[in-house]
Structure 1
Amino acid sequence: MSDKDQTNKARTGRPTTTEFKDFMGAHWAPHEDVEVTRIAAAPYAAARRDRLSARFPGERIVVPAGALKTRSNDTDYRFRPSSDFAYLTGLGVDHEPGAILVMEPREAGGHDSTLYLVPPAQPGDEGFYSDPAAGEFWIGRRPGLEEFAAMTGIATARLSELPKIRTASQPHKKVRVALAEMRFVKDEYEVQQLRDAVDATVAGFERAIGQLPRAIAHKRGERVIEATFDGHAREEGNAVGYETIAAAGPHATTLHWIANTGQVREGDLLLLDAGVEVESLYTADVTRTFPIGGEFTPLQRRVYQIVLEAADAAFAAARPGARFLDVHFAAVEVIEKRLTEWGIAPSSEDPESKLFRRWMVHGTSHHLGIDVHDCAEAKRELYMEGVLEPGMVFTIEPGLYFQEGDLAAPEELRGIGIRIEDDVLMTEDGAENLSAALPRDPDAVEAWMRSLRG
């Protein structure tokens, strides 16, 4: 190999000489001492671990945070730890790829918890510049084992010291079910996180709808609305809690329209379904349907009023001691009655057919928390048939959707989709609407939109 070839090789590849390694490990300013404090979630996470421990006496419990997921080649998606891991440790945001929580049973009862982690590679460690997953040269400074112990109150150890016990990338099914059922009732920390998420979401709606003039002028106006809200979510929280639905015109009749490639036209409706996820990973889930031109047409208003009446009926049914399903039944009873009166819902000899559900095929509510569809792995009899208790947080979200190609719907309704979704905290006195700051009444919606336009 010529001298020139050797020089080019050294330029394109990372040198492996001892001299280079010594040079890379030297001449770095020491890290400034950073005061590490116990995270606010720590005592609540400890109480959750105690509750889980009581459900599995004598059994080892393993809860991985999960690993980085490859987007393509050497590029990863932004990391989000598993919700079970975050719930039991209190660690949100991007803490900590590859970490594993192990709860080891004690002979005397209870469990000892250890958080196994990959320590950061700092100056002087070869991985400092060669390990894209742990090297500070690549990902910046991250907490070390002692810092994580101080933050969480959990003993820490190197991941390499973990006994050969990991057999799956997620907890055992029975542990996941137990955790889902524990998450039905939120503690005070969780309730505050959800309040913060909803407040940030309401502010995001205001920013997004404030961009309607720009959205109308853009060939993909739905993207303008989506980008405005999603940018707000990154500024004020961790991210969005799920893919934003910014559905204008007939796209509003598609339940999970996330392409957001359509135009935003005056005279149509805009259905915005979005939520900010805060750094603890708790998320809001709010939907409003807006008249793009600022005022509902008489036909749009009539459909909107039916959905609002259904939502109000669901709120009235949401009280301690009622079944979770009762909230849904209250909403769909209104939908059925009004569509029948309108002459839209066909009659049937079989009362179980519920043909009106063609225009509202989804349920009215789901639990909300560290997942947008929280507690999803809980047993059905405890979820759908479960009794409402103070501390539960869930959505109320009836809707009506008349798709463009729906020949069973009156022609004048085709292309109209409306949903109203609020986040609800169950209290001793009934349902508290956490998202009440965002108007629901059609007159109030129009007045709010006028205020945004000055």
Structure 2
Amino acid sequence: MASGWADTALRDLAPLPQAGHTARRRAALSARYPGERLVVPAGNLKVRSNDSDYPFRAATAYVHLTGDQTFDGVLVLEPAEDGGHRAHLYLPPRSSRENGEFWLDSARGELWTGRRHSLAEAAMLYGLPCRDVGTLGEELARGEGPVRVVRGHDAGVEAALDGRTTAERDEELREFLSELRLVKDDFEIGELQKACDSTVRGFEDVVRVLDQAQATSERYLEGTFFLRARVEGNDVGYGSICAAGPHATIMHWVRNDGPVREGELLLLDAGVETRTLYTADVTRTLPVGGRFTPLQRTLYEAVYEAQQAGIDAVRPGAAYRDFHEAAQRLLAGKLVEWGIVEGPVERVYRLGLQRRWTLAGTGHMLGLDVHDCAEARTEAYVDCTLEPGMVLTVEPGLYFQADDLTVPEEYRGIGIRIEDDILVTEDGNRNLSGALPRRAAEVEAWMAALRG
């Protein structure tokens, strides 16, 4: 087993398309923490059950700074004597046939899991010098001076730095890396557009099989969308919500094991994650039979108007919270109009009375994570001013629980959400997922065309 193997080295690899962008991101990180060693792990394999691991997904900050997705990888920025930092990637080298790892290690051996890049090949791809991660523990132990590490991804790395970092300093690093993703560059915007385009095709796939889902369950729809995600991307960006009937009133319904019935609504919240790990996040609420009932249409158009008000509020110089407030005010007005809550509208909004039926916030940042930049400081995120290059979702909804005695009986069990991914541009915004229809009549026509 140790001999008789051909040379498979790759010698002419081009850098990843995002390599220039990752270098600029590392430069921004270096400038923020001069003279400090910075350690950003990718994370390790995690056991699903017994000897079966979950599919590996590298930590977001690591991917953003390197473009790499290798388990056990670690990015280290060492302070340079003349200022700045020297960046190195520590990665698992290729499996050794001499010590038998190639065929003996079922978790990491290439005979079992497939070929990985050599350190020299990785250096060409990522534009960084690469070292054997097996030497990292000794390297970290020898270092002196201040250190920061992104915690929660690699216990071995944290143990090697035990006593040399503080929770407060490490949290500040996590916040900075989250805020570094608030404004997307051209590469990121392109990947998010790819994610949205694939997601549109996934929604079309689901509409085409609604009749088959009625004979099975919501799981059929989940599997249908997942096929598109795996064929065109890496995975789904989050657990798909395929919520039919009263399940649509449950914000995070991911069991997807309920019936799909004619005359009810399907709330489909799903997003394709690209092979570079950028994800879309899109929701449409569809009449299973192809046409809205009069009441469904009335409620749907109210959510559409609220979403349009929110989208209209997304522009450079606007406060981040503006789109949420615009959508919530409109829905508060609808609830007053329908007699569900007593006005005036401004009182309802000021007291937040509409939130019983609107539930969640109206959106969030989007990128490598579906809820991107989540560790950013409040003043940098929800209290910020929108800038070109930011990407966020606008997703108002109305949710009338099946047991809510405060609303007319015919409203109960109806949940509606419409969600799109909005890029802030120099002169306003662009709907990255706008290829999917939103108005009720447009949705019906679109569904009819897809179902023949």
TM-score (norm 2): 0.92
Contiguous gaps of at least 5 residues in structure 1: 1-23
State how far apart, in whole Å, the 2-side matches of 1:64 and 1:83 are.
Answer: 10
- Output the aligned Cα RMSD: 1.5
What's the offset of the Cα at 1:35? 3.7
Pair 1:34–1:315, CA change in 2 (3 A): same
Distance 2:38 2:6 in 1: 41
Deviations 1:59-92 (A, max 9, x none): 111000000000111110000100000000012x
Q: Which residue in 2 is equivalent to 1:209?
A: 207
2:49 to 69, 72, 79: 72
Quote the residue 2:314 is aligned against: 318
CA distance in 2, matches of 1:442, 1:350: 27
Q: Which amino acid aligns with 2:271?
A: G
Residues 1:328 and 2:324 aligned together: yes
Distance 1:203 1:327 in 2: 27
**Where does residue 229 of structure 1 map in the other structure?**
225
For residues 34 and 49 of structure 1, what CA distance do their matches in structure 2 show? 26
The answer to whether 1:174 aligns with 2:172 is yes
Moved more, 338-347 or 39-48: 338-347
1-side partners of 2:218 and 2:11: how far apart? 43
Comparing 336-345 and 160-169, the one that deviates more: 160-169
Judge conservation of contact 1:119–1:134 (CA < 8 Å) in 2: no
Unaligned runs of 5+ in 2: 142-147, 159-169
Counterpart of 1:144 in structure 2: which amino acid? Answer: S
Q: CA deviation at 1:357?
A: 1.2
Query: In the alignment, what sits opposite 1:131?
Result: 105
Distance 1:204 1:351, change over 3 A: closer
Contact 1:28/1:123 (<8 A) preserved: no
Partners of 2:328 and 2:41 lie apart in 1 by 40
The residue aligned with 1:440 is: 438
Structure whose CA Rg is larger = 1
Look up the match of 2:304.
Answer: 308
Match of 2:124 among 131, 146, 150: 150
Query: Does structure 1 residue 99 correspond to structure 2 residue 73?
Result: yes
Structure 2 counterparts to residues 187-202 of structure 1, below 5 A: 187-202=185-200
Question: Which residue of the other structure, out of 378, 392, 395, is the alignment partner of 1:394?
Answer: 392
Give the direction of change, closer, same or farther, for the CA distance of 1:157–1:324 in structure 2 (3 Å limit). Answer: same
In the TM superposition, what is the alpha-carbon distance from 1:347 to its structure 2 partner? 4.7
Residue of structure 2 aligned with 1:293, choices 281, 284, 289: 289
Match of 1:120 in 2: 94
- Distance in 2 (alpha carbons) for counterparts of 1:138 and 1:430: 51
Q: Which residue of 2 aligns with 1:7?
A: none
Contact 1:401 1:418 in 2 (8 A): yes
Distance 2:270 2:352 in 1: 30
Local SS of the residue matching 1:418: strand
What residue number does 1:13 align with? none
Of residues 281-290 and 160-169 in structure 1, the stretch that sits farther from structure 2 once superposed is 160-169
Query: What is the CA-CA distance between 1:404 and the residue it aligns to?
Result: 0.2
CA distance in 1, matches of 2:107, 2:30: 32
The answer (yes or no) to whether the contact 1:83–1:370 under 8 Å persists in 2 is yes
Q: Deviations over 1:128-158 (max 9, x none)?
A: 1111233111111110100110000111111
Instruction: Name the structure 2 match of 1:11.
Output: none
Q: Which SS does the other structure have where 1:25 is aligned?
A: coil
Q: Structure 1 residue 274 and structure 2 residue 270: aligned?
A: yes
Whole-Å Cα distance in 2 between the matches of residues 238 and 343 of structure 1? Answer: 46
Distance 1:267 1:202 in 2: 24
Mapped partners of 1:222, 1:394: distance in 2? 28
